[in-house]
Structures are given as structure tokens and as C-alpha cells.
Amino acid sequence: MIALLLRDIRLAVRAGGGFGLGLAFFLLVTVMVPFGVGPEPATLAKIAPGILWVGALLSCLLSLDRIFALDFEDGSLDLLATAPIPLEGVVAVKALAHWLVTGLPLVLVSPVLGVLMNLPGPGYGWLVASLGIGTPALSVIGAFGAALTVGLKRGGLLLSLLVLPMYVPTLIFGAEVVKRGAMGLATGTPLALLAGITAGAVALLPFAAAAAIRVNLR
Amino acid sequence: MTLLAVHNLSVARGTIPVLEGVSLSLAAGQAMVLRGPNGIGKTTLLRCIAGLQPALEGAIEAVPDAIAYAAHADGIKATLTVAENLEFWAAIFGTRGIDHALDAMNLRHLATRRGANLSAGQKRRLGLARMLVTGRPVWAMDEPTVSLDAASVGLFAAVVSAHLGQGGVALIATHIDLELEAQALDLTPHRAKPPQDGGRKGAFDEAFV
């Protein structure tokens, strides 16, 4: 399991592995938005939580199809499916690796991008907390979507269509945490719901994804 | 001791039945070569035995976690070196040491070369070296000699012989003569009959009948 995690991280950070793709996209989105909507600080502060969360979500989406498609194409997935580690474990580890190379960097740079979006002071802690709690769900849900579309040639469009509706609850509660945090209101309820979505997704979806992969490998 | 036994197996490719009534049995030290024209279902049979797809009917008896499968694709990562690729599979299968595999398939001098820079034959040798690091007794191999030169085919035959000598078993789909002590199973007589001749209908038909 640890060997698989290390391999996936190593593949991601080596040339052409896609590390930094999500990060660069996140950066571009948040840099471009102020140009698009104008530089008024009040407007930017108002839309900052939503834009930051949408940006994080889309940059997560960008690298989802790599989770299983590359291993499927070169035959590794067949070999992993016949290896002694359970396929559920393979899914969980690959989702974790995806989060470590995509989600975690987003969490870490989000305060810097918050400055660009003129996020109000109290919002920074909540931005990091909500992304830290919410992005694991994005990776796991994405791994499930990737498992569903793994056998398809260029299944990226279908993957996005499948995954985006499942991302909506995370987006709503994640952005709500930041919005309320920035206004100095209580954030307990959306934060608890966000954590609940993540916990549920992490607990259940590896099993669903493994079942989907088994069907797709037939 | 019988390491792998297949009884009256029928398999389907997609929803179309391709083979029926296949039975075979391999005791320790035995090898079997699967023969038959393209499309007869050699790959499907091997994937079924490897546990990647269910059989339509029949049974596969094998010791749990005994089968190592080598497919057409070798599962080589282009950005990892030969040694890193092998070490990964050794870790996944919980075995130690890749030196014997590097030596057996003559990959020692390529150990630090990245997968992207290997030739087709070298990739195949790496794929076969992977079988050695699995530490599993039953090898199910699909066209293992594709793109190998004559010397490498000899190397491969020697590796399989050594594996059989240690009490292993090999089930190999191939078109060439490996000069191994192996039974041959011609799959042509096991071709699935079409439905109008009393054969099994595909799962697709069943769903709509």
C-alpha cells in the first residue's frame, strides 16, 4: 500500500506527471477573476469565498482522469487487480495520492490567493480549514467518477458530467463556511456538514469505486 | 499436487461466448501451452483464470493468491527506471530483492534506464522479470514472447524451466515453439457454438428475452 502511494506521488512529481497542473489552474482562475469583475475591493471581498472554492474544485477536476486511466492504458490496473492488495485499498491509496499532489497544495496556497481576492481578515483561517476538510472529499468522489469511466477512451467529458453534481454539496457547504467565517458568524453547522460529506465519501466510495473498476476490467 | 484445475469452463468476450467446455489440470512442475487461431479466446480464458472476469459456467480451482498474470501490456511506467518498476511490484507482492529477476532476464545493465527509453523487446523482458518478483507459483502468460529476439526467447524458456523446476506451473498462450516440456491444449474444438446451433446465448440476448 505504501509502495503504491510512493509510486503514485513519484509519478506525479516527475516530468509530465501533472503535479502543479491543478495548482497553476487555481492560480490562473483567481488571478483572472479580478480582471474580469473589476478591482472594487467590496465586490471582490463579497465573491471571494465562492470564487476560491469554485477554483479549487475545478483544479481538482482537471487531474481526475489521470487517477486510473494511465494505469489502465499501460496495463498496470489489470496487474494491480490481480495483486494481493485489495482493490478497495488501491482506490483509497490512489485517492490519497491524488489529494496529496492536488488538494493539499491548493489548501496551502489558498491564503495567498485569498489576498488577491481581498478576502476579509477573519476568513483566512476558515478558508484553509474548509479546504482542508473538503478537498479530500473531492479526491475520493473524483476517484469514484474516474473508476466509473476508466475503460472509456477520452472519458473526460463524461467524468466531469458525472462528478460535478456530486461535488455540489461540498462546494455549497465549503463556500458557506468561508462566507460565514469572513462575516464573523458561527460556522459550526456548515463545517460539520462538510466534514460529514468527507467522512461519508471516504468511508463508502472506495468500495463503490472498486466494484466499478472490477466491472470495467471485464 | 495440482496447483491449477479448470473444469468445464465457458468464457465470454464482452457479451459473446467464445469458449466452452475447457478443462485442464496442472500439477507442480507442469507447463501447458494454449494454442488456437486469433480470436479463439486465449486471452479471455487467461483473464478469467487470473480472476479478472467471471466465467459463464464451470469452475476454476487454484490455491488462493497463487496466480501471477502477464498480459499483453507490461504495466511499465515510462518515468520510472527499470529497477524502480520492479521494486514497486516486489513491494506490492510482498517479496524482497529484484536482483535475481534482473539477472534472469538480462536487465542488469538497464537497471537505471527509464521505462520510456526501453525498446519493445526490453520492455517485454521487464514485464517477464516482473513475474519473477511476484513469488507466485502459477504463471498465466499471454503471448509472452511477442517482440523478443531469439536470444531472449531462449532466456525466457530457461526462466520458465527454472520456475517449473522449483515446483511452479505455467500456462502460456503462444504461437511459437518454446522448446519446453509442455502439454499443448488446442482451443479450436472448444469454440462456443452459435445460438442457432444450440449454443449459449450472450448475456445481452438474455437480458432482452
Do residue B75 and residue A10 have CB atoms under 8 angstroms apart? Answer: no
Q: Please name which of B131, B141, B70 lies closest in space to residue B105, comparing C-alpha atoms.
A: B131
Name the band, by pLDDT with cuts 50, 70 and 90, for residue B61.
Answer: confident
- The CA distance from B113 to B80, in Å, is 8
Measure CA of the first residue to CA of the last residue in chain A; give whole Å: 24
- Structure confidence by residue, pLDDT tens digits, A1-16: 888 888 888 888 886 6
- The CA distance from A54 to A96, in Å, is 21
> What's the DSSP call for residue B110?
G
- Structure confidence by residue, pLDDT tens digits, B18-36: 888 888 888 888 888 888 8
Do residue A75 and residue B75 have CB atoms under 8 angstroms apart? Answer: yes
Over pLDDT 90: what percentage of chain A? 55
Range of the domain at B126: 29-53+64-186
Number of domains in chain B: 1
Chain A residue numbers with beta carbons less than 8 Å from the beta carbon of B92 are 3-4, 80, 83-85
Name the band, by pLDDT with cuts 50, 70 and 90, for residue B72.
Answer: confident
CATH code: domain of residue B78? 3.40.50.300
Asked which of A55-69, B1-15, B158-172, B184-198 is least confident by mean pLDDT, the reply is B184-198
Q: Which of A3, A17, A81 sits opposite B91 (nearest CB)?
A: A3
Q: Is B194 helix (H, G, I), strand (E, B) or coil?
A: coil
Q: Is B155 contained in some domain?
A: yes
Min Cα–Cα distance to chain A from B88, Å:
6
Q: Is B72 contained in some domain?
A: yes
Q: Please name which of A23, A11, A145 lies closest in space to residue A70, comparing C-alpha atoms.
A: A11
Q: Is B7 contained in some domain?
A: no
Q: Is B116 contained in some domain?
A: yes
Do residue A4 and residue B80 have CB atoms under 8 angstroms apart? Answer: no
Residue-level pLDDT at B201: 62
Over pLDDT 70: what percentage of chain A? 99
* Contact by Cβ (8 Å): B34, B185: yes
Q: Is B118 contained in some domain?
A: yes
Residue-level pLDDT at B200: 67
Q: Is B144 contained in some domain?
A: yes
Q: Is B193 contained in some domain?
A: no
Which 1-60 residues of chain B touch chain A by CB within 8 A?
47, 50-54
Measure CA of the first residue to CA of the last residue in chain B; give whole Å: 44
Q: Is B192 contained in some domain?
A: no
Higher-confidence residue of A98 and B195: namely: A98
- Structure confidence by residue, pLDDT tens digits, A104-149: 999 999 999 998 888 888 889 999 999 999 999 999 999 999 999 9
Q: Is A52 helix (H, G, I), strand (E, B) or coil?
A: helix
Residue-level pLDDT at A112: 92
* Contact by Cβ (8 Å): A187, A69: no
* Contact by Cβ (8 Å): A95, A141: no
Q: Which of A15, A76, A82 sits opposite B52 (nearest CB)?
A: A82
Residue-level pLDDT at B209: 41
Min Cα–Cα distance to chain A from B139, Å:
12
Q: Which of A3, A11, A17 sits opposite B92 (nearest CB)?
A: A3
Question: b/e per residue, A178-216, with b = 16+ CB within 10 A?
Answer: bbbbbeeeebeebbebbbebbeebbeebbebbbbbbbeb
Do residue A74 and residue B80 have CB atoms under 8 angstroms apart? Answer: no
Residue-level pLDDT at B64: 78
Which 76-95 residues of chain B touch chain A by CB within 8 A?
76-80, 84, 87-89, 91-94
Q: Indicate the pTM of the whole model.
A: 0.89
- Structure confidence by residue, pLDDT tens digits, A47-73: 999 999 999 999 999 888 888 888 888
- The CA distance from B27 to B164, in Å, is 10
B-interface mutation test, from A4, A6, A7, A93, most B Cβ less than 10 A away? A7
Is the pLDDT confidence value at B202 over 70? no
Mean pLDDT over A29-46 rounds to: 89
- Structure confidence by residue, pLDDT tens digits, A165-174: 999 999 999 9
Interface contact A215, partner B, CB < 8 A: no
Interface contact B74, partner A, CB < 8 A: yes
Chain A CA closest to residue B66: A84
Name the band, by pLDDT with cuts 50, 70 and 90, for residue A161.
Answer: very high
Min Cα–Cα distance to chain A from B156, Å:
20
CA angle, residues B74, A217, B35, in degrees to nearest 5:
60
- The CA distance from B145 to B156, in Å, is 8
- The CA distance from B50 to A89, in Å, is 19
- The CA distance from B57 to A124, in Å, is 60
- Chains A and B: how many Cβ contacts under 8 Å? 69
Chain A CA closest to residue B13: A218
Is the pLDDT confidence value at B158 over 80? yes
Do residue B69 and residue A79 have CB atoms under 8 angstroms apart? Answer: yes
Residue-level pLDDT at B176: 82
Q: Which of A11, A80, A81 sits opposite B79 (nearest CB)?
A: A11
Residue-level pLDDT at B198: 67
Residue-level pLDDT at A4: 86
Is the pLDDT confidence value at B193 over 70? yes
Name the band, by pLDDT with cuts 50, 70 and 90, for residue A19.
Answer: confident
Task: Dig out the grid coordinates for B33 from the structure.
Answer: 501451452
Interface contact A46, partner B, CB < 8 A: no
Q: Is B198 helix (H, G, I), strand (E, B) or coil?
A: coil
Name the band, by pLDDT with cuts 50, 70 and 90, for residue B103.
Answer: confident
Do residue A218 and residue B53 have CB atoms under 8 angstroms apart? Answer: yes
Chain B CA closest to residue A77: B75
- Structure confidence by residue, pLDDT tens digits, A174-204: 999 999 999 889 888 999 999 999 999 999 9
Q: Other CB atoms closer than 10 Å to residue B58's CB: what's the count?
A: 17
Residue-level pLDDT at B189: 84
Is the pLDDT confidence value at B197 over 80? no
Is the pLDDT confidence value at B206 over 60? no
